[in-house]
Structure 1
């Protein structure tokens, strides 16, 4: 289980955080829902280290008043992972140069402690290996697992769902998908 507490790191730092507004490392690239044409909801940003400068994977998902079909698919255009600096916008995602937008309704938060309940494995964590609900769905060979999120913070990942964040082998693109029980 991941414990969250209010963040104190200055804007512009490459930190992992949930909610609030993204701390863009380059020009803003806010993804738009393929079906609604509106900005997706920002869920969080995750630091992805390796090979030099710190990078961030920004995670977004369509969050309309009504259920939007396809938010679970890694390439359906209803969720997106934007990697900065130097990443590529996935080919199925349209972005807008917009610094702020709809966000997970919480103040900036930073994971600070990883606590496993006695005898129980966590369902929300960073790195390691994913715990799949319905079966393995890694986006492709060599894709690196970044984070696993529960829907306990108000995200709509279906019925008791789990979200999964990945980056490509070269670290330039990301994918997000979710499964439910």
Structure 2
């Protein structure tokens, strides 16, 4: 199993997912920075992502949309804050309008990803930081834990030898 734990921490306003992957950090890193690989796991299996822009560099931006089972589209955006290949990345993540521009009416989350060498592969820790308790509650109620867990679970299949 890829996902080891999911931990909401109301006091710290964080939600953390820890996963163990049977590949080195450099391979896991590629799942974050290569938009075609990212599309194959970002989003739950029933809501696959399409990245229309992806600039993994400090100050770079990403635009994407996820397509639901009925053809509906949910747009999102990232703004990269920091990258340290292949061990960490940090970005702001939010909902977007039809062009993927930030939706001011929805929360923005700061996401920190740590990739650490572990026995037999990589231990990946994804920590989402919320500005307010209300934002954290809103996104958890929208199914963030289940959605992120099912998305991350797809990574092992993409890292398996062909």
Instruction: State the TM-score, normalizing by the size of structure 1.
Output: 0.30
Higher strand share: 2
Instruction: State the TM-score, normalizing by the size of structure 2.
Output: 0.33
Higher helix share: 2
